Amino acid sequence: MKVTFRIWRQDKPKAKGGFKDYEVDDLTEDMSFLEALDHLNEILVLKGEKVIAYEYDCREGICGQCGVFINGRAHGPHKNMTTCQLHMRSFHDGETITVEPWRAKAFPVIKDLVVDRSAFDRIIEQGAYISAKTGTAPEANAILIGKEVSDRAMDAAACIGCGACVATCKNSSAALFTSAKINHLNSLPQGKPEQHRRVLDMTAQMAKEGFGHCSFTGACEVECPEGISIVNIAEMKARYVKAKLFG
């Protein structure tokens, strides 16, 4: 299998970047997309050229580090999938594949396909925790939580913070990410003491980081690897109004 990778190259944050084409042969349909990039980097090393910088860790669709734009879509041509779960069988022999980093003011490019997603960390720091004392695990039935509530909390907790929701949003909104983190804890008894302060502080930090407003198009839900529903955004907005009144 032979393809042409059209990849965004940028040496450092303030440098001028641009696309560069790389013709790569000897690929197989069973290769993952990241394995194909590994193969390209091996070729570049042998040629004495600079390798392409891109992020990854688990390569199992868990960590969310591997996110890039592929042919104009976050994580590639399939919905609800991470980049590392994508295989070369999703492309055709002879195809040109355009690869670029997340495009968002709050996610500045560090190098090539690597962006700084620490804005997410700063949002987390503003309230994605509880004040309950740590120690040995409590007895499972000490705090009874209904299945509907626990399921909703766990669905929100599935967010891996990859940033696809921001990258695919026309406004670069982080509403899906932030709402998932808020609703996860606010739904549970352990998160109730800080629920109002959590909503106000995390949404304030989201705005401070330069993320745009949500226009509820639903693009984020389609590209989210965990399929987190935009219902979370609506719930966050309702919680925000309540927090302004009672917080």
pLDDT tens across 72-104, in order? 999 999 999 999 999 999 999 999 999 999 999
Residue 140, pLDDT score: 72
Contact 88, 26 (CB under 8 A): no
Residue 215, pLDDT score: 94
> Which one-letter amino acid corresponds to residue 241?
V
pLDDT tens across 173-182, in order? 999 999 999 9
Full-model pTM: 0.93
Q: Among 125, 215, 199, 198, which Cα is nearest to 161's?
A: 125
Residue 213, pLDDT score: 95
CATH classification of 117-246, choosing from 3.40.50.300, 3.40.50.720, 1.10.1060.10, 3.90.1150.10?
A: 1.10.1060.10
Three-class SS state of 180: helix
Structural class in CATH, domain 3-110? alpha beta
Q: Locate CATH 3.10.20.30 in the chain.
A: 3-110
Q: Among 131, 130, 114, which Cα is nearest to 37's?
A: 114
Residue 120, pLDDT score: 98
Neighbours of 244 (CB within 10 A): 11
Q: Locate CATH 1.10.1060.10 in the chain.
A: 117-246
Residue 28, pLDDT score: 97
Q: For each of the chain's 247 residues, which pLDDT tens digit applies?
A: 999 999 999 999 999 999 999 999 999 999 999 999 999 999 999 999 999 999 999 999 999 999 999 999 999 999 999 999 999 999 999 999 999 999 999 999 999 999 999 999 999 999 998 887 777 777 777 888 899 999 999 999 999 999 999 999 999 999 999 999 999 999 999 899 999 999 999 999 999 999 999 999 999 999 999 999 999 999 999 999 999 998 7
Question: 165: which 2 tokens?
Answer: 């929701």
C-alpha distances (whole Å) from 175 to each of 123, 185, 219, 232 are 11, 16, 12, 9
Spatial distance between the Cα atoms of 172 and 164, rounded to a whole number of angstroms: 10
Spatial distance between the Cα atoms of 157 and 175, rounded to a whole number of angstroms: 14
Residue 176, pLDDT score: 98
Question: 163: which 2 tokens?
Answer: 């940033």
Neighbours of 120 (CB within 10 A): 25
Contact 72, 216 (CB under 8 A): no
Calculate ∠ Cα 110-116-119, nearest 5°. 155
Spatial distance between the Cα atoms of 33 and 194, rounded to a whole number of angstroms: 42
Residue 246, pLDDT score: 87
Q: DSSP string spanning 75-103?
A: TSSSSS--GGG-BGGGS-TT-EEEEE---
Residue 34, pLDDT score: 98
Three-class SS state of 194: helix
Residue 12, pLDDT score: 95
Residue 221, pLDDT score: 96
